[in-house]
Amino acid sequence: MKTRRLFLQKASLSAMALAVPAFNPLSAMTNSMNIVSKDSEVLRVAIMGLGSYGTRVAEAIQDCNRVKLVGVISGTPSKVEDWKSTYNIPAKNCYDYDNFDAIKDNPDIDAVYVITPNALHKDQVIRVAKAGKHAICEKPMAISAEDGQAMVDACKTAGVHLLIGYRMHFEPNTLEVIRMRKDGELGEIRFFQGLCGFVIGDPTQWRLDRILSGGGAMMDIGIYAINGARYMIGEEPIWVTAQEVKTDSEKFKEGIDETITFQLGFPNGVIASCLSTYNMNNLDRFYLNGSNGWVEMQPSTGYGPIEGQTHAGPLTEPIVTHQTVQMDEMAAIIFEGKQPEVPVNGEEGVKDMKIIDAIFEAVKTGEKVALNLS
Ligand code: NAD
């Protein structure tokens, strides 16, 4: 009841915000893009992995119209205690990594958001599916396409949704560029450039441990350029070439890529040229070129604000908290079968994993690797 009351309060507040925008702060207005009807259901979510991004998602959920954080799964009892008091989570909705299969007997949790190190996603999502709960999983969905496909299959068998945390698929300036491209304002698309990177710190973190990460910068940040190339160009690549550079083989051990440049070839000769690195800061840039126009976004995939210029002027869509909008939209996908402009389902995640597998193969062999994403 409390969930529903809270939700209805938020719903009417957002309706007011939309009715009288002049009197409302930008954040209240822009985070309420999803107009929620009185009968909309609230998605009750448990977060698995209470680390840095899990905390960001938990905070963002507090502003959701139709998502509520109701549970946690963690191996650290002190974090569970903190989250119980911060987010008013009942003890009966708290689990650890050994006992969370029991979530199947908990009718108060609809979905589990897996926000743990990459290599753990596969088994955790499969267990969530077997417990009959919807799975939301962070990027990269797994550490190989084969593992990603096993997750898709398990969720299909269990009859639950599998959604990947592709927050950019709901970001307003990104969606505006996609609209421009679809409406032909850029003409025929010819070229995309995606540059993604940062200088990684602590050498002992899981991101630099191949067993937990499945790779280096590519799994973590290069995936934004891969995914961005696909949604910006609006086609699937048919081949890839790639080259690796390593300046510190002590920090970036075997299987952990430091810097990879890669090229994706699309049907009709469109090319994407991308860079993924753990060795350069301030690298978050997309550029799209068409026969009639262009778009330059920087930052293009950070937490925001996303900024950009086009041949027709600056991008001026509302600034949102990405994770708040993502979660409200995911509730609509789960409950109403809403089709997002760019998919966030498991199959979408597998396509990116196939490209990552092919990039690693291209680095190893020096060959052009063919892709079949259909
Ligand atoms: P983090 O290190 O801050 O948190 C990871 C959490 O997993 C910690 O709470 C840790 O205790 C827990 N964990 C469980 N089992 C573990 C194990 N065996 N070893 C290490 N930690 C274990 O990492 P993060 O930055 O929150 O990243 C988590 C996931 O979220 C990754 O898949 C990452 O790619 C993704 N992520 C996505 C975004 C985005 O913008 N979509 C941003 C950051 C991270």
Residue 73, CA distances (Å) to 47, 88, 128 in order? 6, 15, 11
For ligand 1, atom 43, which residue shows the shortest CA distance? 53
Q: What is the pLDDT of residue 296?
A: 98
- Among residues 113, 166, 224, 231, the one annotated as catalytic is 224
C-alpha 207 to ligand 1 mean position (Å): 9
Q: Given a cut of 50, is residue 339 above it in pLDDT?
A: yes
Do 4-166 and 172-318+346-370 come out as alike in CATH topology?
A: no
Give the type of residue at 278.
Answer: Y
pTM of the model: 0.91
pLDDT score recorded for residue 39:
57
More confident residue, 262 or 7: 262
The pLDDT confidence band at residue 356, using thresholds 50, 70 and 90, is very high
Closest ligand 1 atom number to CA of residue 79: 9
Does the annotation count 122 as an active-site position?
Answer: no
pLDDT, average across residues 24-36: 41
pLDDT digit string (tens) for 102-115?
999 999 999 999 99
Which atom from ligand 1 is nearest to the alpha carbon of 55? 26
112-126 tens-digit pLDDT? 999 999 999 999 999
Choose the weakest-confidence range: 16-30, 162-176, 199-213, 340-354: 16-30
Closest CA to 66 of 48, 93, 43: 43
CATH code 3.30.360.10 for 172-318+346-370: yes
4, pLDDT greater than 50: no
Q: Which residues, 6 or more positions from 185, have their beta carbon under 8 angstroms from its beta carbon?
A: 292, 293, 312
Q: 171 near 304, Cβ under 8 Å?
A: yes
pLDDT average, residue stretch 26-52: 69
Neighbour tally for 277: CB within 10 Å: 24
- What's the per-residue H, E or C state across the chain? CHHHHHHHHHHHHHHHHHHCHHHCCHHHHHCCCCCCCCCCCCEEEEEECCCHHHHHHHHHHCCCCCEEEEEEECCCHHHHHHHHHHHCCCHHHEECCCCHHHHHHCCCCCEEEECCCHHHHHHHHHHHHHCCCEEEECCCCCCCHHHHHHHHHHHHHHCCCEEECCHHHHCHHHHHHHHHHHCCCCCCEEEEEEEEECCCCCCCCHHHCHHHHCCCHHHHHHHHHHHHHHHHHCCCCCEEEEEEECCCCCCCCCCCCCEEEEEEECHHHCEEEEEEECCCCCEEEEEEEECCCEEEECCCCCCCCCCEEECCEECCCCCCCHHHHHHHHHHHHHHHCCCCCCCCEHHHHHHHHHHHHHHHHHHHHCCCEECCCC
Query: What tokens appear for 347 in the block?
Result: 């199959």
Task: Report the nearest atom of ligand 1 relative to the CA of 53.
Answer: 26
Give the mutation target among 47, 112, 116, 163 for probing the ligand 1 site: most ligand atoms within 8 A of CB: 116
Please compute the mean of the pLDDT values over residues 68-87 and round it to a whole number: 98
> At residue 251, does pLDDT exceed 70?
yes
- Residue 362 makes CB contacts below 8 A (sequence gap 6+) with 240, 241, 242, 262, 368, 369
- Ligand 1 centroid vs 116 CA: distance in angstroms? 4
**In the predicted model, what is the mean pLDDT of the chain?**
91
* pLDDT higher than 80, residue 38: no
- Residue 374 pLDDT: 77
Contact in structure between 192 and 287 (CB atoms under 8 Å): yes
Average pLDDT over residues 113-140: 98
Give me the CATH topology for the region 4-166.
Rossmann fold (3.40.50)
The single residue listed with the structure tokens 């389902």 is 345
Instruction: Give helix 52-61 / helix 322-336 axis angle, nearest 10°.
Output: 70
Cα–Cα dist 45/85, whole Å: 17
**pLDDT score at 10:** 37
- Determine the average pLDDT of the residues in 364-374: 96
pLDDT digits (tens, 9 = 90+) for 43-74: 999 999 999 999 999 999 999 999 999 999 99
State mean pLDDT over 274-293: 98
**Is-catalytic flag, 224?**
yes
Parse the chain into domains and list their residue ranges: 4-166, 172-318+346-370
List ligand 1's pocket residues with C-beta within 6 A.
49-54, 75-76, 115-118, 120, 138-139, 165, 167, 206, 212, 220
Tell me which residue has its CA closest to atom 42 in ligand 1.
53
The amino acid sitting at 302 is G
Cα-to-centroid distance, 151 and ligand 1 (Å): 18
Ligand 1 pocket test, candidate residues 53, 320, 321, most atoms within 8 A of CB = 53
The pLDDT, as a whole number, for residue 37 is: 53
DSSP strand pairing (283-290 vs 189-197):
antiparallel
pLDDT bin (cut points 50, 70, 90) of residue 162 is: very high
Predicted pLDDT of residue 346:
98
Minimum CA distance residue for ligand 1 atom 26:
53
pLDDT band at 5 (very low <50, low <70, confident <90, very high): very low
Q: pLDDT tens digits, residue range 218-246? A: 999 999 999 999 999 999 999 999 999 99
Q: Is the pLDDT of residue 29 over 50?
A: no
Ligand 1: distance of its center to the CA of 55 in Å? 10
